[in-house]
Structure 1
Amino acid sequence: MKKKKQLWVFFSLLVLFFQSLTAVPAQAADDFLVNANAGFAIDVDSGKILFNQNGDTKLEIASITKIITSYLVLEAVKERKTTWETPVPISAYAEALSAVPELSNVPLYTSQTYTVKDLYDAMVIQSANAAAAALAELLAGSEHAFVDQMRQKVADWGITDATLLNASGLNNMYLGDNRYPGSGLEDENKLSARDVAVIADHLITDYPEFLETSKTTEATFGEGTEAPVALENWNQMLPGGPNFKEGVDGLKTGTTEKAGACFVGTIQKDGRRVITVILNALNQQIDPGARFVETSNLMDYCFNNWHLQEVDLSGQSVPEHDSVPVSEGKKDTVGLVLKSKLPVWVRNDMDLTQYTIQADLNESLLDEGKLIAPVSKNEKIGKATIALAQDDLGYLEPGQAPSTDIVAKSDVDKANAFVLLWQRILAFFN
């Protein structure tokens, strides 16, 4: 992330003015857009996608990259591959990178060592690029090897087409001979807004303690040394910032010439947590806080226009599977019904009565399409998912759509030996 310190006090009134003009009304559910190259939002608990504007296009992400680096650091600490107190030697590459004046950094020196926690805090709070490179070298032996780990991690989450070249998100022009093999002179890391949401979701779900650092507004790097450095969080939506928004506690900004002004944010409100992604806010030249204004609008849109509503499916027959054949039973078929009520995410302009049910019967219970008696009432036979007809956004991960059990409507006892014999004779001749 490039170092462009803002005079926050000066801009605060200007930003508040822009926000007053761009407040999101609840009724603008269907035609709401963000002024950015891409926008994306999810409800964390359910994985429900609440907004998707160009969310599947690969774009430069700049220092948002550091949420992947942060995940791997937290994972390494959890797995005891390192500790927060482990000293980190500084390479000549990291030292030189830390001295580039236009980059966000803390000064690092080969003659000194720093702890993992020192560098992690500098990376998360102030987006220190050389700190990310130094951590990568510690954990993998080289930044190139660390990039391979980054690629494998996101591939594990289903992101198989990521462009990841370094641990910081910098343009390759700053890396010199340390560029990832085969990458171009000015290449950058690229992901889609959806990809960023997936990664952010894994980060704060697996390591919620990340939020304790990402919400820190100020800290000191090298405290107790001869040259301590004040850390300042780039997230202007935190307390004291000109775009402060109650409930925001992360996550990560990103800025390069190619990426523009980017921000993956998260907010906790009314018992819900939402993750938002803004890639290249297009009003940045006029309003230096544009990415935060767009994020605020997107967060308001999510909370004002989406709500959970219960759909009572209990006792309803299963579409295209209202009954299933039964073998060796006193009855030839048994009815199937849905078991319970379901909480469904509904946008204000959507019709809750228009939905489809997708049934998935448990094939392991069937023999040539038939259940084997005895069958008990309310015995689970499969699973059904619901989707609103007007909702084409879906969920972040497969299997997150609301579901209920498909159960047997009644008992079917096993037939006695004489009946079974007669059934087999009939089956033989038929």
Structure 2
Amino acid sequence: MKKRTILLKICSLILVLGYFSGLFTAASAYAQEDILTITQNAGYQTNEFYKPKASIVIDAQTGQVLWEDNPDLKWNPASIAKLMSVYLVFEAMEKGQFTLDTTVKATDNDQAISQIYELSNNSIVSGVNYPVRDLLYATLVQSSNVATVMLANLVTANDEAKFIHMMNDKAKELGMTNSTFYNCSGAETGSFNGYYKPEGIDQNADNVTTARDLAILSYHLLKNYPDTVTYTSPTQITIMENTPYAEVLENHNYSLPGLAYGYEGADGLKTGSSPTGGFNYAATAKRENTRLIEIVLGVGDWEDQEGELQRHAFGNAIFDQAFATYEYKQLLTKGNNTINKEEIILDQDFYGLIQKNTEPTFTLSADKVTIDNGLAQVSPTIKAPSATFKYEKKLKALQNSVLKKTGKKKNASSTFFVNGLLIILGLLFAALSKLFKKGPNQSKKFNLLSTLSVLFILAGIILSIYTVVVGPFI
């Protein structure tokens, strides 16, 4: 008994040590995946001072998380907030409120805002009509605050407060659970010198969101309005062409190909910086069939403008890691497939995210097939990719039932006749066995007849079930 107790204690100790050893190993492995180390190993010159406060990378097709570090840290996104305003502009156009060619007549207030030196802007002249298309370029390329205000006022017929409420309502609808907006452009309301003042909204409050929430917003923006990249990808563009108000806009996303930190496949989304938020970056890039989204928040300090460049080093590095590890591809073809030793028939081709140089594994549940890639969804409102299927045997049964209806009933009738005959023979042997049971020295005959009775009845029942599910066997 003592030996058994000692052995149990030893086993328990080994399990405990193994558990904590595993935790230590996992923690060490995680530490090695530090974003600063990844960026330095990618060849970028940076240091701890510039390390982002939060970051995340997701797949744009599936919404699955490939990298995260403090993704739920609440932060001031600065001008990345313009993405929510743009979402509402695209939504309004989808509803038919206006088009890209609709013009917005600039007011005295708009002109005054455009002349506030402290704000990022483009030139606006009172009384001039600006097309929505050009205002979108100004918002997303130049990060113009006045262009964003003009678009917001177009959506709500100059109800500035209503637009802020729309931003917050849309955030809830999209699953952005840690976001609150107080202005439409990322610059606090108080910095507009009274020319933009949503009634009932705190003028001194910064917008608040998280890396995860911005990834969710970017996911829905690209999914629902893929033309967004048309307005985020130009490194330079001229608006109001062939008019006295033509203006060249320069993009601050230095990861766009051809700029200082040019990254292959990059075509958006938005940068943002502020005294309280530091330097932030929302990006997307596509290589072959794989499109990724990343958010990098809180790089460096507003007092050191080097952070404006450093955010792109971190963004490029974690993009590199994700693109090198994962790919979005076709995993199954429409039609017949064998999954987990089950013969199934897919209604359509099935695409998903998978680690490179690995074989996918799948789960069959009800009528859905999903991939087991170990990746979490960025939000519970974004479902993992799946495809509907039918089991091949069920389809065969359906085909057999169709055959019956088209005149081929003899096979089924013959089969059920044989099944019924087997059951009748079984019952006959059962009756005979009772007779032999009553006679002297008939135990052997009784046992034989009883056995045959059971076998014939079971055979009849099983074959009847087979005929219903699969089809006639003769």
Give me the TM-score of the superposition, normalised by structure 2: 0.64
1:316 aligns with 2:316: no
CA distance in 2, matches of 1:119, 1:256: 22
Q: Which residue of structure 2 aligns with residue 118 of structure 1?
A: 134
Structure 2 residue identity aligned to 1:249 = D
On the 8 A contact 2:102/2:132 being kept in 1, the answer is: yes
User: Which structure dedicates a bigger proportion of its chain to strand?
Assistant: 1
Shift in Å at residue 223 of structure 1?
Answer: 3.2
Q: Which residue of structure 2 aligns with residue 289 of structure 1?
A: 309
Shift in Å at residue 344 of structure 1?
Answer: 5.7
1:165 aligns with 2:150: no
Greater alpha carbon shift after TM alignment, 39-48 vs 255-264: 39-48
Shift in Å at residue 295 of structure 1?
Answer: 0.9
Of 394, 398, 409 in structure 1, the residue corresponding to residue 377 of structure 2 is 394
CA distance in 2, matches of 1:226, 1:19: 48
1:407 aligns with 2:423: no
On the 8 A contact 1:165/1:179 being kept in 2, the answer is: no
Of 210, 229, 242 in structure 2, the residue corresponding to residue 224 of structure 1 is 242
Of 368, 379, 382 in structure 2, the residue corresponding to residue 383 of structure 1 is 368
Shift in Å at residue 395 of structure 1?
Answer: 5.0
Q: Which residue of structure 2 aligns with residue 40 of structure 1?
A: 56
Of 85, 103, 110 in structure 2, the residue corresponding to residue 69 of structure 1 is 85
Equivalent residues in 2 for 1:210-359 (5 A)? Answer: 210-282=228-300, 285=304, 286-307=306-327, 314-316=338-340, 345-347=353-355, 357=363, 359=365
- Highest RCO, 1 vs 2 (Cα 8 Å, sep ≥ 6): 1
Equivalent residues in 2 for 1:51-62 (5 A)? Answer: 51-62=67-78
Residues 179 and 207 of structure 1: is their aligned pair in 2 closer, same or farther, counting only changes over 3 Å? same
Of 127, 131, 151 in structure 2, the residue corresponding to residue 135 of structure 1 is 151
Shift in Å at residue 112 of structure 1?
Answer: 2.8
Q: Which residue of structure 1 aligns with residue 218 of structure 2?
A: 200
1:94 aligns with 2:78: no
Q: Which residue of structure 1 aligns with residue 467 of structure 2?
A: none
Greater alpha carbon shift after TM alignment, 171-180 vs 195-204: 171-180
User: Which structure dedicates a bigger proportion of its chain to helix?
Assistant: 2
CA distance in 1, matches of 2:327, 2:132: 41
SS at match of 2:141: helix
Cα offsets for 1:269-300 (capped at 9, x unmatched) = 13211111111123773453011111101110
Structure 1 residue identity aligned to 2:82 = K
Q: How many pairs were matched up?
A: 351
Residues 314 and 228 of structure 1: is their aligned pair in 2 closer, same or farther, counting only changes over 3 Å? same
Structure 1 residue identity aligned to 2:340 = Q
Shift in Å at residue 233 of structure 1?
Answer: 0.8
Equivalent residues in 2 for 1:11-50 (5 A)? Answer: 21-23=40-42, 35-50=51-66
CA distance in 2, matches of 1:236, 1:307: 25
CA distance in 1, matches of 2:319, 2:249: 27
CA distance in 1, matches of 2:123, 2:328: 48
CA distance in 1, matches of 2:130, 2:350: 51
CA distance in 1, matches of 2:203, 2:339: 63
CA distance in 2, matches of 1:315, 1:259: 49
Q: Structure 1: which 5+ runs fail to align?
A: 1-17, 26-33, 318-335, 362-381, 420-430
Shift in Å at residue 35 of structure 1?
Answer: 2.7
Residues 386 and 215 of structure 1: is their aligned pair in 2 closer, same or farther, counting only changes over 3 Å? closer
On the 8 A contact 2:39/2:314 being kept in 1, the answer is: no
CA distance in 1, matches of 2:238, 2:375: 46
Greater alpha carbon shift after TM alignment, 48-57 vs 130-139: 48-57
Residues 52 and 404 of structure 1: is their aligned pair in 2 closer, same or farther, counting only changes over 3 Å? farther
Shift in Å at residue 77 of structure 1?
Answer: 2.9
Residues 69 and 287 of structure 1: is their aligned pair in 2 closer, same or farther, counting only changes over 3 Å? closer
CA distance in 2, matches of 1:408, 1:222: 60
CA distance in 1, matches of 2:352, 2:101: 46
Greater alpha carbon shift after TM alignment, 244-253 vs 285-294: 285-294
On the 8 A contact 1:236/1:289 being kept in 2, the answer is: yes
CA distance in 1, matches of 2:43, 2:198: 43
On the 8 A contact 2:363/2:370 being kept in 1, the answer is: yes
Cα offsets for 1:375-418 (capped at 9, x unmatched) = xxxxxxx3354434xx35335544224466473756779998x9
CA distance in 1, matches of 2:362, 2:199: 49
Identity of aligned residues (%): 26
Structure 1 residue identity aligned to 2:377 = G
Q: Which residue of structure 2 aligns with residue 330 of structure 1?
A: none
Cα RMSD for the two superposed structures = 3.6
Residues 283 and 293 of structure 1: is their aligned pair in 2 closer, same or farther, counting only changes over 3 Å? farther
On the 8 A contact 1:43/1:274 being kept in 2, the answer is: yes
Residues 47 and 225 of structure 1: is their aligned pair in 2 closer, same or farther, counting only changes over 3 Å? same
SS at match of 1:105: coil
On the 8 A contact 1:338/1:407 being kept in 2, the answer is: yes
On the 8 A contact 1:64/1:253 being kept in 2, the answer is: yes
Residues 398 and 66 of structure 1: is their aligned pair in 2 closer, same or farther, counting only changes over 3 Å? closer
Cα offsets for 1:299-330 (capped at 9, x unmatched) = 1010112246859993537xxxxxxxxxxxxx
Shift in Å at residue 37 of structure 1?
Answer: 1.4
CA distance in 2, matches of 1:184, 1:217: 35
Greater alpha carbon shift after TM alignment, 404-413 vs 140-149: 404-413
SS at match of 1:289: helix
Shift in Å at residue 184 of structure 1?
Answer: 3.3
